[in-house]
Structure 1
Amino acid sequence: MLHNLNIEEILFLDIETVPLAPEYTELTERWQELWAHKMQFQISAGEPADALYERAGIYAEFGRIVCISTGYVVQKKGEPYFRVKSFYHEDEKLLIQNFFNALNRFSKAGKRRLCAHNGQEFDFPYIARRALVNNINLPKVLDIAGAKPWEVKDVLIDTLQLWKFGDYKHYTSLSLLCELFNIPTPKDDIDGSQVAKVYWEDKDVDRIIQYCEKDTLAVANLLLKYKGDPIIPFENLESV
């Protein structure tokens, strides 16, 4: 199966998300109640609701998208390159709409499959949910509510699910798999747990974009490793 994948038909993506508000105290009383209900089991274990709020960005009901990076593989003089395009805006609705518009262009150019790490449980549904919240019609590739995994496997590729080989017990991070497969990753960058601080406190969107783009390349390289193909070095990363 993996050997039959045409890497140049795949659009790789990664998203970065943050809580809807910088601080728990900035939520309305009703939203604080809803957050406490969402976190009721952790709160009952002794963790206060306000301390748990740093996790809000991972839930589409309590978070928002601040960056979507996409990339695809091209061959230049027999060597693979990775072309990356990022979408970011203070207005989440405009960010998602711009991404959807680009999806249509990518599809017409032959990029009809999407690939992300843990995309099945995070990136793909998160984008779809936030699109609905922003009253945006879903493109066909993400209009998958109620679909079975085998019904979307030909268009939505998940490097985490491929690694599981049918085992549903464990989550394996992109960082761990990159280390396992000797895929170079930046050692001086932020990680996902720091994105909210970088966005709300440091207001450094460029740093988030750079991190998101490098993660997108890491996903592409992981799939290339699965296929037994050469990986793409950082110096072959091109912005478009």
Structure 2
Amino acid sequence: MIKKIPLEHVLFLDIETVPQKPEFSDLDETSQALWEQKSAYQRKDEMTAAEFYDRAGIWAEFGKIVCISVGFFALKTSQRAFRVTSFYGDEVKILKQFKELLMNHFNQAKHLLCAHNGKEFDFPYIARRMIINGLELPYKLDLFGKKPWEVPHLDTMELWKFGDYKHYTSLKLLAHVLGIPSPKEDMDGSMVKDVFYGEHDLDRIVTYCELDVVTTAQVFLRLRNEDLLVDEEIKKV
């Protein structure tokens, strides 16, 4: 069934997020108390809310988006091409630019969004941050009233589960077992907060995010038993 989806109808994406403030102490008292409640069920008993704050970027209520990278196949010519671009910097600007892309180029019923673990993280995170920032949801993220088969979202992790709801596989592990060449990454997701607030190196985060988009597209190709992208086919736009 997956092979019946035209590649040019899929928008691959990945997001990078950080806590809303550099440190727990930068939050107001109400936010500190709410974070302590929110994080209580995940942090160990001996770990304080302040010590656990490095992970606040995982929750849309306490984090923000600093980069959305997208990729799509251009198959109008005889040569296959995968075009990658990114929106980064101010969160409201990022969200507006991403929404504009969806509205202008990926707003038809045939179009699908694809991310690794996107159904549990990327898609709801973007939607929640849009609502928090007072932006109306685009059709592709507004799931109210949609039946499961009407939701225009693909998730490479879900595709790999094959119905096993207990199974979690990281993008890095999945790429490894599928024989996808590992990109030369100099960071991982746990480092994004420090790179953003400590090193102020947003370009490094953007590069990391774009590599994950390419890897997600490569996984999708392998799940279709198709040839992987080569460097000459990947275009930064």
Contact kept, 8 Å, 2:17 with 2:63, in 1: the verdict is: yes
Contact kept, 8 Å, 1:221 with 1:231, in 2: the verdict is: yes
The aligned amino acid for 1:52 is F
Asked if 1:63 corresponds to 2:63, the answer is: yes
Q: Which residue of 2 aligns with 1:151?
A: 150
Superposed counterparts of 1:136-175, under 5 Å: 136-145=135-144, 147-152=146-151, 155-175=152-172
The aligned amino acid for 1:160 is M
Q: Which residue of 2 aligns with 1:181?
A: 178
- 1:151 Cα offset (Å): 3.1
Contact kept, 8 Å, 2:178 with 2:222, in 1: the verdict is: yes
Q: Deviations over 1:29-66 (max 9, x none)?
A: 11110110011234562211111101100100000000
Q: Which residue of 2 aligns with 1:128?
A: 127
The aligned amino acid for 1:19 is P
Structure with the bigger percentage of helix: 1
Identity across matched positions, percent:
48
Q: Deviations over 1:115-170 (max 9, x none)?
A: 00011000000000000000000001100146453331xx2111111111111102
Deviates more, 1:101-110 or 1:129-138: 101-110
Contact kept, 8 Å, 2:107 with 2:139, in 1: the verdict is: no
- 1:179 Cα offset (Å): 0.2
* Pick aligned residue for 2:204 from 200, 207, 220: 207
Alignment partners' CA distance in 2, 1:67 and 1:183: 24
Q: Deviations over 1:60-97 (max 9, x none)?
A: 0000000000111124864432101111122x112101
Alignment partners' CA distance in 2, 1:226 and 1:44: 37
Contact kept, 8 Å, 1:11 with 1:111, in 2: the verdict is: no
Alignment partners' CA distance in 1, 2:66 and 2:44: 31
The aligned amino acid for 1:124 is F
Q: 1:229 to 1:64 in 2, by over 3 A?
A: same
Deviates more, 1:47-56 or 1:103-112: 103-112
SS in 2 for 1:64: strand
Q: 1:7 to 1:31 in 2, by over 3 A?
A: same
Contact kept, 8 Å, 1:36 with 1:43, in 2: the verdict is: no
Q: Deviations over 1:173-213 (max 9, x none)?
A: 00000000111122342111101111111111111111111
The aligned amino acid for 2:205 is I
Q: Which residue of 1 aligns with 2:50?
A: 50
SS in 2 for 1:130: helix
Q: Which residue of 1 aligns with 2:112?
A: 113
> What TM-score comes out, normalization by structure 1 length?
0.93
Alignment partners' CA distance in 2, 1:109 and 1:86: 22
Asked if 1:217 corresponds to 2:214, the answer is: yes
Superposed counterparts of 1:23-42, under 5 Å: 23-42=23-42
Asked if 1:226 corresponds to 2:229, the answer is: no
Contact kept, 8 Å, 2:185 with 2:208, in 1: the verdict is: no
- 1:232 Cα offset (Å): 0.8
Q: Which ranges of structure 2 fall in alignment gaps of 5 or more residues? A: none
The aligned amino acid for 2:106 is S
Aligned residues: 237
